[in-house]
Amino acid sequence: KQEVTQIPAALSVPEGENLVLNCSFTDSAIYNLQWFRQDPGKGLTSLLLIQSSQREQTSGRLNASLDKSSGRSTLYIAASQPGDSATYLCAVSHSGGGADGLTFGKGTHLIIQP
């Protein structure tokens, strides 16, 4: 059974720092991997989706990489801002279209200090 682990569980850094969030998964036979952001008491917002054939995806200050063979993904946040404070979750899918849902990690709770 697929297991997704996110490290660290919590992270607090001063504003302006670059930071890296880590995600690992036990079964490398994935279809894609997604990074989500969740604000307190809210639903999830998709940030980046990486297909299994891709190595990375970029959106603004966010860059996600995928090393499928080693079962790892990282989310790089450049020049962090207080508005980046949230919980970040990664999730892997084993089928296109998410037909069987996703397997989620427990998330990294990020606090950016002004």
Partner 1 sequence: DGGITQSPKYLFRKEGQNVTLSCEQNLNHDAMYWYRQDPGQGLRLIYYSQIVNDFQKGDIAEGYSVSREKKESFPLTVTSAQKNPTAFYLCSSSSAEKLFFGSGTQLSVL
Q: Which of 34, 57, 65, 108 binds partner 1 (CB under 8 A)?
A: 34
Determine if 57 is a binding residue for partner 1 (CB under 8 A). Answer: no
Contacts 24+ apart (CB under 8 A), 49-54: none
76: burial class by Cβ within 10 Å (0-12, 13-18, 19+)? middle
* SS3 labels along 80-94: CCHHHCEEEEEEEEC
Residues 64-103 that bind partner 1 (CB under 8 A): 89, 91, 93, 96-103
Residue closer to partner 1 by CB (options 4, 64) is 4
CB of 67 to partner 1, least distance (A): 20
Determine if 19 is a binding residue for partner 1 (CB under 8 A). Answer: no
In degrees rounded to 5, what are phi and psi of residue 37?
Answer: -115, 140
Residues that bind partner 1 (CB under 8 A): 4, 9, 31-32, 34, 41-46, 49, 89, 91, 93, 96-107
